[in-house]
Amino acid sequence: MARFFRPLGIIVITGWLAACGSSTPTSAVSTDVTAGALIVNPPLRIASVDAATFAAQLGASTSGAQLLQLAGTPTCGVDFYYIKYRTKGGANERTTASGAMMVPTGSASACSGGRPIVLYAHGTATDKNYNIADITNTANTEGALVAAVFAAQGYIVVAPNYAGYDDSTLSYHPYLNAQQQSGEMLDALAAARAALPNTFSSATTDGGKLFVTGYSQGGYVAMATVRALQAAGKSATASAPMSGPYALEAFTDAIFYGKVDLGATVFSPLLAESYQKAYGNIYSAPSDLFSATYATGIDTLLPSTESLEAIFSENKLPLTQLFDSTTPVTGNAALDAALAVPNDPLFSLGFGDPYLVNNDYRLSYVLDAVADPDGAVPTPSAGVPLAAEPQQPLRHAVWTNDLRNGNWAPASPTLMCGGAQDPTVFFSVNTGTMQAFWSTLPAGLLTVLDVHGTPAGPFAQLQGAFQQSQAQELAFLQTAAGGSLTQAQAEAVLVQNYHTAVAPFCTVAARGFFAAF
């Protein structure tokens, strides 16, 4: 089970799809501007593959064979459709977005007739051209994973690209905006349901069951979507948010106190611009928040048509240095110690010069956290409640979008899956906080899975497989590059890849969880 991800990929599938690029002759463009309206109906079919070809091509590569072993032999073929729909942006402005609809096909009973829908939210992307529907693109690794785990096993998959990506008319992405992103998920679902009867795959229909899942940013979006469904008087059959920043205030507090997660220099401008567009008060100018080294142009930097590697190499963002290594001095010994560069080697990577976030802005955030603390960070309290109501603009924004806000709880079965050693989205601060927040839910309503935990219960085999894959990956890294990697270097790479390495295991766990309903 080694080397599932390398380093940001799941599996690269090439040459196995029949690119169709076709829709029926009756396709038409709708002028309906209502959110959720399908723009092109019938939608474009990008590609089609039968089950036998899918299985054969997966088995032809090492990474594909590993995914095949984990996900199981495809039962169904898959038709891949590109849907375009109306939605709204973070400031409630009209816009458009696009996404994927993956429809199972074939003669097996699980592949046609009434089938369940999986509404899937993808992880953070920096590529402005991101299109999860384009399965012929070898970079579309998340789309390949979802196709193998869900669509090829009889689930209709609906997966938006999100506003601000692909050919969306929105100039930014409403990153971790719970209201916008959950609303867009429901818009994509409405558009897909309108499209399904008019496709080449019309023998496959909506069977009435709705499962909601997603990974990383998508885990957060999935949970927010379940909340939005309940607020609208609807419900998911079950959900499986995975490795998401659900307790957003607690997570952001932890980062500003100095526990800087891997990826923070990428997530920060996405988050700041999202909330600036939605609320208008995160900064008066980008230089209020971001250092002079990076402030110019940062408000329009992400998502980008440039690769992330180019953005780093052109010094448009620092690689890991979120905060100044010369930290603020307040005169309060305890606070000064909390703001100092941590001894932990992982967290200390978040400090340096040049840095991204100004000391003054960091201090204003932390002082608000001291005055109005989150119940989970830095010291957990009973019930892990949110702060009363922060006053610092960015902290107020993450408080607004923290999924504890409103004291909501899921009413349908929920699986939260992740890995305890995740350096990108901290498991204890997010999954652990939500588990504690929902500690009084009826037995059986909430299931929490740590794929790095001691193997036990219904997911024991999957936990063992993940841990074996980590051990094999470490051994592989130590022999890579002619054996030039030391033990410490190999372990560092393993940590860097950990967040993405968890994804296929949690995704398969989600499918197993859904199968019970």
Express as a percent the part of the chain with pLDDT over 70.
Answer: 94
> Of 21-35, 62-76, 145-159, 305-319, where does mean pLDDT reach its minimum?
21-35
Which residue type is seen at 514?
A: F
Question: What pLDDT does 20 receive?
Answer: 46
Q: How much is the average pLDDT of 483-507?
A: 92
> Of 64-78, 89-103, 353-367, where does mean pLDDT reach its minimum?
64-78
Q: How many CB atoms lie within 10 A of CB 82?
A: 23
For the cut 70, the answer to whether the pLDDT of residue 228 exceeds it is yes
Q: How confident is the model at residue 438 (pLDDT cuts 50, 70, 90)?
A: very high
Q: How confident is the model at residue 388 (pLDDT cuts 50, 70, 90)?
A: very high
Q: How confident is the model at residue 45 (pLDDT cuts 50, 70, 90)?
A: very high
For the cut 90, the answer to whether the pLDDT of residue 381 exceeds it is yes
Q: How confident is the model at residue 374 (pLDDT cuts 50, 70, 90)?
A: very high
**Cβ within 8 Å of residue 385, ≥6 positions away:** 374, 375, 404, 437
How does pLDDT run across 259-274, given as a tens digit for each residue?
999 999 999 999 999 9
Contact 78, 54 (CB under 8 A): yes
Express as a percent the part of the chain with pLDDT over 90.
Answer: 88
Q: How confident is the model at residue 479 (pLDDT cuts 50, 70, 90)?
A: confident
List, in order of start, the domains of the chain with CATH numbers: 18-247+409-514 (3.40.50.1820), 248-401 (no CATH)
For the cut 50, the answer to whether the pLDDT of residue 421 exceeds it is yes
In the block, residue with structure tokens 């379940």: 226
How does pLDDT run across 116-126, given as a tens digit for each residue?
999 999 999 99
How does pLDDT run across 271-311, given as a tens digit for each residue?
999 999 999 999 999 999 999 999 999 999 999 999 999 99
How does pLDDT run across 443-469, given as a tens digit for each residue?
999 999 999 999 999 999 999 999 999
Query: Residue 505 corresponds to which tokens in the numbers above?
Result: 């295991």
> Of 10-19, 90-99, 356-365, 391-400, where does mean pLDDT reach its minimum?
10-19
For the cut 90, the answer to whether the pLDDT of residue 100 exceeds it is yes
Q: How much is the average pLDDT of 3-7?
A: 33
**DSSP-assigned letters across all residues of 84-142:** EEEEE-TTS-EEEEEEEEEEEESSSGGGSEEEEEEEEE-----BTT--TT-TTSTT-HH
Question: How far is residue 111 from each of residues 51, 76, 102, measured CA to CA in Å?
Answer: 10, 6, 12
Question: What pLDDT does 351 receive?
Answer: 98
Question: What pLDDT does 61 receive?
Answer: 82
> Of 12-21, 124-133, 153-162, 275-284, where does mean pLDDT reach its minimum?
12-21
> Of 103-117, 217-231, 302-316, 485-499, where does mean pLDDT reach its minimum?
485-499
Question: What pLDDT does 138 receive?
Answer: 85
Q: How many CB atoms lie within 10 A of CB 336?
A: 13
For the cut 80, the answer to whether the pLDDT of residue 480 exceeds it is no
For residue 424, with 0-12 CB atoms within 10 Å meaning exposed, 13-18 middle and 19 or more buried, which class applies? buried
Q: How much is the average pLDDT of 205-223?
A: 98
Question: What pLDDT does 58 receive?
Answer: 80
Q: How much is the average pLDDT of 471-498?
A: 87
C-alpha to C-alpha distance for 9 and 197, rounded to whole angstroms: 33
For the cut 90, the answer to whether the pLDDT of residue 491 exceeds it is yes
C-alpha to C-alpha distance for 501 and 242, rounded to whole angstroms: 12
C-alpha to C-alpha distance for 72 and 67, rounded to whole angstroms: 8
Distance of CA 270 to the CA centre of its chain: 13
C-alpha to C-alpha distance for 230 and 161, rounded to whole angstroms: 23
Question: What pLDDT does 482 receive?
Answer: 58
Higher model confidence: residue 33 or residue 368? 368
